[in-house]
Amino acid sequence: MTPKASPLLQIDDLYVSYNSQPYLQGVSLEVWPEQVVALVGPNGAGKTTILKAVGGLLPVASGRIRFEGRDLANLPVWEIVQRGVVYVPEGMKVFPHMSVRENLEVGAYLDRSALAARLALVYDLFPQLSERSRALAGDLSGGQQRLVTLGRALMSPARLLLLDDPFLGLSPRFTGLFCDAFRSLRRSGRTLVIAGQHVKRILNVADRAFLLENGRLALSGTGPEILANPHFRAALFSPE
């Protein structure tokens, strides 16, 4: 992969607190175009907090968040989505009484000008959704519903996808489908930041990885480098 001239996402000295509790304390990191980036760490380390702050769901106390060189901190969610950043939360649900296609079309609510092209991209990525496009989303299996929620995010003008624990509860078959989809999206020019507890799965698909502990950045490197690091293994895999 050829390096780009500047980071797609740049986080500088980020502090986030809520209910008077500090959740991020001076985090700085960069995400480059066409990367799959992993955020890993123990529960409460700050992984989801980073995603929510970038996606506009949590207020930033101090620091900067820049996407394509433009400030994102504390913008409304709709404007962040319009700029090309979409947050997909853990356990995001489908609209069960709407068809698969209708669920996907909801994702294009801000810009319907490229609806057909984006729908074709989603169906190419997940052919099983094309086959069941008229089925009620609530009648799909749990894994298929997760494909719908990812596909719905791709119906927006997203260039940066923020995925919170996308492997949670997935069977090995759907985990493999998701990993293949993430690599395909990277090849097509998308950038992904993935957070979650399934660290081996996440790190195995990541170009770059960051270990968070107690709201601070503890380690950075490639996925294999982080997996092999003794501090990482002690933090996440040692018995209590």
Which residues does 195 contact at the CB level (< 8 Å), separation at least 6? 38, 39, 40, 47, 48, 50, 51, 162, 163, 164, 165, 202
3-class DSSP state for residue 239? coil
Q: For residues 73 and 84, what is the distance between their CA atoms, to the nearest angstrom?
A: 14
Question: Bridge partners of 219?
Answer: 211
**Cα–Cα distance for residue pair 135/42, rounded to 1 Å:** 38
Q: Would 43 be classed as within a structural domain?
A: yes
DSSP, residue by residue, 185-219? HHHTT-EEEEE-S-HHHHHHH-SEEEEEETTEEEE
Q: What pLDDT shows up at residue 212?
A: 95
The β-bridge relationship of strands 9-18 and 85-88 is: unpaired
CA distance linking residue 97 with residue 79, whole number of Å: 28
Q: What is the pLDDT along the chain (240 residues), one digit of tens a residue?
A: 445 578 999 999 999 998 778 899 999 999 999 999 999 999 889 999 999 999 999 999 999 999 999 999 999 999 999 899 999 998 888 999 999 999 999 988 777 778 898 999 999 999 999 999 999 999 999 999 999 999 999 998 889 999 999 988 888 888 889 999 999 999 999 999 999 888 888 898 899 999 999 999 999 999 999 999 998 988 887 543
- d(CA 178, CA 162) in angstroms, rounded, equals 14
Asked if residue 137 belongs to a domain, the reply is no
Residue 200 is predicted with a pLDDT of 87
Is 172 inside any structural domain? yes
Place of tokens 């090849």: 187
Domain span at residue 196? 27-93+143-231
Give yes or no for a contact between 232 and 41, defined as CB atoms under 8 angstroms apart. no
Q: What is the pLDDT of residue 4?
A: 57
Q: What span, in angstroms and rounded, lies between the C-alpha atoms of 32 and 7?
A: 4
The answer to whether residue 98 is domain-embedded is no
3-state secondary structure of 99: strand
Structural domain includes residue 223? yes
The count of structural domains within the chain is 1
CATH classification of the domain holding 35: 3.40.50.300
Q: Which amino acid is at 197?
A: Q
φ and ψ of 183, to 5 deg: -65, -40
Q: How far is it, in rounded angstroms, from Cα 212 to Cα 40?
A: 6
The pLDDT value recorded for residue 240 is 38
Amino acid 236: pLDDT = 81
Tokens representing 99 are 């068809």
How high is the pLDDT of residue 159?
93
Nearest-angstrom CA–CA distance, 9 and 85? 10
In a domain, 198, yes or no: yes
Instruction: Look at residue 111 in the predicted model and tell me its pLDDT.
Output: 73
